[in-house]
Amino acid sequence: MGASRATAQPSLTDTETYKSAAAQAAADLVDDGARVGLGTGSTVAYLLPALAERGLRLRCVATSPATARIARELGLVVEELDDLGRLDIAIDGADQIDPAGWLVKGGGAAHTREKIVARAAERCVVIASAEKVVPALWPPVPLEILRFAARTTLAQIGDAALRDVPPSPDGNLIADYTGPVADPRALAQRLATTPGVVEHGLFEPDLVDDILIAGPAGVEHRKL
């Protein structure tokens, strides 16, 4: 029984292989001269060397200090989004992907910058290993909240708690909503209109153009 369950689950090595495959497929979508938004996380960690290896002339925007540092170490040019204005493509990971294309993001606490970058891109590509695909979204949904009256903000949300991580690079606190996520649009609306919430980790399907899901059968390319 235990053995058969173990064989049904992807091993850690499989998962890393899938992340790498999705990242490589996304790197191949980037054109020479492109302005590129770089996400954050362990899947994006495979994207950065794959992009650098292509030797293209790129102008990149990073969604976190960690991504900026690694990208620069690999020789990628990282600039400010305000200096580039629009991006041709943004590539980022996800924590959950539902059948309609709703995402939960922010496991790495970078969802605010990631959402700004996704919205600034002509084409937003999500890369993930197959276990990120879920039949329905579930908690936690990451939050970035203002320090001012943070406990009051969390109480107004209900079912929410601070995450024990450093503040965001923009000086805000990271928290998680832990209540039900039955209706992502309604929840996104409620979180977005709660004073003190800087940004929530629900990404609506309108933000996303392509989803590359890598699993045992290869890389599936979904267009939204």
Active site residues: 114
Is 42 near ligand 5RP (CB under 6 A)? yes
List 107, 184, 196, 215, residue binding ligand 5RP (CB under 6 A): 107
Using an 8 Å Cβ cutoff, are 26 and 39 in contact?
A: no
Nearer to ligand 5RP, 40 or 172 (CB): 40
Is 37 near ligand 5RP (CB under 6 A)? no
Least distance to ligand 5RP from the beta carbon of 171, Å? 17
Helices (H), 74-194: 81-84, 111-119, 150-157, 184-192
Nearer to ligand 5RP, 110 or 202 (CB): 110
Is 111 near ligand 5RP (CB under 6 A)? yes
Q: Which residues contact 142 (CB under 8 A, 6 or more apart)?
A: 95, 104, 105, 106, 107, 109, 111, 163, 174, 175, 176, 177, 200, 201
Is 108 near ligand 5RP (CB under 6 A)? yes
Taking the C-alpha atoms of residue 95 and residue 181, their distance in angstroms, rounded to an integer, is: 14
Q: Which residues contribute to the site for ligand 5RP (CB under 6 A)?
A: 39-43, 92-95, 105-111, 114
